[in-house]
Structure 1
Amino acid sequence: MLALFLVTAWMLMLWRVPAVRSDIFVNSYLNLFTGYTLSILALAAIILVLTELLTSQENRWAYIDFRKLHGEIQAPGFFRLPKSADWFSSGRIAALVPAALTVLLKIFSLPGTAVFSFRIGELLMTLVLAGLYAAAMEIFFRYSLITLGKDANVRSGGIMVFCVVFSALSGYYFPMLGGVFGLLIGAVQGTLSARAMLDTRGTFWPWTIHFVQAFVMMAFSVVTA
């Protein structure tokens, strides 16, 4: 737990002082996102290696499979989902929920003088960065916690709590979201992504959920820079 808190603090520090700096773009936010994403990718690689070294052979790489799209959704009873509810059919909807919340947060937090400037090249680069960013964050807040938790025979409910707490804290303190609404978005995203990884034993839907939200979050900053 202490190690994960330190990693989270390190990630937030990298936002302020990225290990990799970029000045190749005219857009200041795109330079910031590039430096930060490359910095946390390096940190994610370290976490991934440490996770596998600390995991038994049985659980090593068990949740990293990107091809697993199916899995029965294990939601609490009050959601009243049909027993046949599967991530293959519901994952697309799940990916839109944190993204929609992010759109609302960004719209209501825009200054009245905000001017939108859409450049295809910048948006394509943002798309790539969002994908890499989502992969790194899923390694931090889902894959490492779930793999190590399962290896230690922690129940799924306990693993979910850890995943949601760390994701919510990241949303609260991370400057691109921040505050109570950032905490809410982080909690929702953490819940959906962790549940998807546990149910499918794969990374496709967790990554997709995070990627869509990350692209929306980054794109708003890039087009209004």
Structure 2
Amino acid sequence: MTNPNLRWIPLLAITLIVTALAPTLLWMRESPLLALALFERESYNLEISYQITVLLLVLIVIAIVAVMTGKAGLSYLNLRNRDGRICPEPWIGLKPSASDTWNNVGRNMAIVITSVTAVVIYFQVIRGESIHVDLFPGLALIVVFALMNAFSEEIIFRFSFVAVVHRFGYSPYVGQGLAAATFGIVHYFGTPGGIPGVLMAAYIGWLLAKSMFETKGFFWALTIHFLQDVVIFFALLMK
């Protein structure tokens, strides 16, 4: 689409797609389209059924973005791009020094965000409950589920906006704002949930979209989200 007067159409389209997918994911978690029975524990079967179904949707989202943006958009799926200059945003706690880049700040943010997530999850999910650690296949499945979930949600709620915003010349703040709003709202019904879940997810949505814009890659978004999900799935599946 070369007409600059029509560049709002792809942005509107991807916003509507993501907005429609958000409640669909909530519905699918309660009523997965697949009914796999691979494990003795039903919670594992429900999760793998959900994750595989969502991955199929993610492939469709990637295909749609590819049609809209071509190679320019798909380049943001690069996992090798880990570094880049950080534009300061003091209001979200990003006040980098002159020597700071995503290489070190991304690592620090991963530690901080994972730690905060662990605290919130303790009070929302674990507090007062007993933990029963299932070494196999439980711990292995937690890693697999966390990776699948992080990848899927980063594609839907981050990559989709970042690629389209970049391709059609919008400010990165548009992509970051849309990523924060959609990811935050859907987490009212997620884990962590409620108002704390909305605020945390909106912050993560903004930050990880920012990481993608500034590194021109997928690494920190996927890594930080994956570490969060390891904590969340451990709490949900081991209690």
* TM-score in terms of structure 1 length: 0.91
CA distance, structure 2, for counterparts of residue 34 and residue 82 of structure 1: 43
Which has the larger displacement, 25-34 or 193-202? 25-34
2:221 aligned with 1:206: yes
Residues 1:214 and 1:204: Cα distance change in structure 2 (over 3 Å): same
Structure 1 CA distance, aligned partners of 2:35 and 2:99? 48
After superposition, the CA RMSD in angstroms is 1.7
Contact 2:125 2:235 in 1 (8 A): no
The residue type equivalent to 1:193 in the other structure is: L
How far off its partner does 1:114 sit?
1.6
Show structure 1 runs of 5+ residues with no match. none
Number of aligned pairs? 222
1:112 to 1:143, Cα distance in 2 relative to 1, 3 A: closer
* Structure 2: gaps (5+ residues): 1-14
Aligned to 1:66: 79
Distance 1:25 1:195, change over 3 A: same
Deviation at 1:182, TM superposition (A): 1.1
Is this contact kept in 2: 1:72–1:84, CA < 8 A?
no
Question: How many angstroms apart in 1 are the aligned matches of 2:230 and 2:145?
Answer: 8
* Match of residue 142 from structure 2: 126
Q: Relative to structure 2, which stretch is displaced further, 9-18 or 97-106?
A: 97-106
1:144 aligns with 2:160: yes
The residue number in structure 1 matching 2:12 is none
Percent identity among equivalent residues? 23
Distance 1:5 1:214 in 2: 22
Question: What is the DSSP-based 3-state SS (H/G/I as helix, E as strand, rest coil) of the residue aligned with 2:206?
Answer: helix
Cα 1:142–1:111 shift into 2, 3 Å: closer
Partner of residue 23, structure 1? 37
* Residue 155 in structure 1 maps to residue 171 in structure 2: yes
Aligned to 1:182: 197
SS in 2 for 1:167: helix
Q: d(CA) in 2 for partners of 1:125 and 1:83?
A: 41
Matched to 1:206, the amino acid is A
Q: Does 1:164 align with 2:180?
A: yes
1:190 positional shift: 1.0
1:11 and 2:38 correspond:
no
Which of 20-29 and 193-202 deviates more?
20-29
What letter corresponds to residue 201 of structure 2 in structure 1?
G
Paired residue type of 2:187: G
Which has a greater percent of helix? 2
